[in-house]
């Protein structure tokens, strides 16, 4: 049995795990991400890997990084939420830990995990995954392989245009779907609703101490599950945008499955219901033909770790 390490590097946490061939996480380590400090972020990754290699025979390390990775799977060219610019991450980590290292986009790694070991494991060739968290990530698998593109930065699904001249995105463009179908967008929708209709947002405002600007994503989910109308409508808005984006992707790629992952998926039917309705409506006549099934991700927070480790093994 070969063991590899997967490390999922996000804007707030660095999560690592030792993963076997079946996709089972055997050991874990976690640190906060010092996202504004390139050197400290690198050191935290090395610290996590070093902790996990102690006393184990590890074959390789895979790092899922929130950013644009070059075609050689070694350099983080740009990261919207971490201070990485042309960061030679593979070289630094490999030299420090003495193991082969590959670097992959974090959403690609999560998509690969769901394809190999999660919600899309019954798909034999193709799937699309959208990860809904602070932003919107994505991964595409065609012919049983990750779609990486000529320069290694394909499948940035969160940066498809949704609204011309819309909200400014972290990538520098205006109106990306990430600004309308992410956890950040959910909070914005809920805060706006609470300001405009406080009488319909009593549950949400109670959680936020009466201050709409104090509303968080967890509060929106809790309030919506308890029946708060404004919070439920925030999920409906998010689902509408997400469903439209999914319909566009299905029109172009015709995958076997579409998997929705990320932290927002914890809301269950509050998100999946309006998303599925919007998806079906947006397909119009195409919906009369066989189209991709929508499934919630199964691996949760482990997806990035499992996917990065599996890619390192390959």
User: Which pLDDT tens digit goes with each residue over 59-85?
Assistant: 999 999 988 899 999 999 988 778 889
In CATH, what number is assigned to the domain containing residue 83? 3.30.420.40
The stretch 251-267 carries a mean pLDDT of 92
| 240 within domain boundaries | yes
Strands 68-69, 76-78: parallel, antiparallel or unpaired by DSSP? antiparallel
Assess whether 129 and 46 both reside in one domain: no
| 117 within domain boundaries | no
| Confidence check: pLDDT of 134 > 90 | no
| 118 within domain boundaries | no
The stretch 86-115 carries a mean pLDDT of 96
Residue whose tokens read 């950040």: 184
Domain hosting 76: range is 3-112+302-313
| Confidence check: pLDDT of 214 > 90 | yes
22/284: higher pLDDT? 22
Assess whether 36 and 102 both reside in one domain: yes
Strands 127-132, 136-142: parallel, antiparallel or unpaired by DSSP? antiparallel
pLDDT at position 314:
87
CA 164/CA 67 separation, integer angstroms? 23
| Confidence check: pLDDT of 202 > 90 | yes
Assess whether 145 and 77 both reside in one domain: no
Assess whether 107 and 61 both reside in one domain: yes
| 140 within domain boundaries | yes
Assess whether 290 and 197 both reside in one domain: yes
Reported confidence tier of residue 10, pLDDT bands at 50, 70, 90:
confident
Taken in order 5, 76, 311, 302, the sign of the CA dihedral is positive
pLDDT at position 35:
80
CA 24/CA 19 separation, integer angstroms? 5
> For the chain, what is the domain count?
2
Assess whether 174 and 226 both reside in one domain: yes
Assess whether 246 and 202 both reside in one domain: yes
Assess whether 137 and 275 both reside in one domain: yes
Assess whether 102 and 148 both reside in one domain: no
The stretch 237-266 carries a mean pLDDT of 94
pTM as predicted: 0.90
pLDDT at position 11:
80
pLDDT at position 5:
98
Reported confidence tier of residue 94, pLDDT bands at 50, 70, 90:
very high
The stretch 203-221 carries a mean pLDDT of 97
Task: Report the share of the chain in percent with pLDDT over 70.
Answer: 100
The stretch 148-170 carries a mean pLDDT of 92
| Confidence check: pLDDT of 296 > 90 | yes
Closest CA to 4 of 97, 84, 143, 74: 97
Q: What are phi and psi of 127, to 5 degrees?
A: -165, 160
pLDDT at position 84:
87
pLDDT at position 133:
85
Across the chain, mean pLDDT equals 94
Assess whether 108 and 22 both reside in one domain: yes
| Confidence check: pLDDT of 287 > 80 | no
Assess whether 96 and 210 both reside in one domain: no
């Amino acid at each position: 049995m070969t063991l590899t390490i997967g490390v999922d590097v996000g804007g707030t946490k660095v999560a690592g795990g030792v993963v076997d061939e079946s996709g089972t996480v055997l050991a874990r380590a976690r640190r906060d991400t010092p996202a504004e400090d390139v050197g400290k972020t690198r050191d935290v990754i090395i610290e996590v890997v070093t902790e996990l290699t102690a006393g184990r025979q590890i074959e390789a390390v895979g790092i899922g990084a929130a950013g644009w990775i070059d075609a050689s799977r070694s350099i983080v060219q740009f990261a919207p939420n971490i201070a990485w610019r042309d960061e030679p991450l593979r070289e630094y980590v490999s030299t420090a830990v003495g193991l082969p290292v590959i670097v992959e986009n974090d959403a690609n790694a999560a998509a690969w995990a769901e394809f190999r070991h999660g919600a899309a494991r019954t798909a034999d060739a193709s799937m699309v995954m959208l990860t809904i968290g602070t932003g919107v990530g994505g991964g595409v698998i065609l012919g049983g392989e990750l779609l990486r593109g000529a320069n290694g930065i394909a499948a940035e699904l969160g940066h498809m245009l949704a609204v011309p001249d819309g909200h400014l995105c972290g990538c520098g463009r205006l109106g990306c779907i990430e600004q309308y179908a992410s956890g950040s967008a959910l909070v914005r929708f809920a805060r706006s609703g609470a300001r405009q209709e406080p009488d319909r947002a009593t549950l949400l405002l109670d959680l936020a101490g009466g201050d709409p600007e104090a509303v968080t994503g967890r509060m929106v989910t809790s309030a919506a599950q308890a029946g708060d109308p404004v919070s439920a409508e925030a999920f409906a808005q998010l689902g509408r945008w997400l469903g439209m984006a999914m319909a566009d992707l299905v029109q172009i790629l015709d995958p076997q499955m579409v998997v929705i992952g990320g932290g927002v998926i914890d809301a269950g039917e509050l998100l999946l219901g309006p998303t599925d309705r919007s998806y079906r409506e947006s397909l119009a006549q195409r919906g009369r033909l066989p189209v991709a099934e929508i499934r919630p991700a199964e691996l949760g927070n482990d997806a990035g770790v499992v996917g990065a480790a599996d890619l390192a093994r390959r």
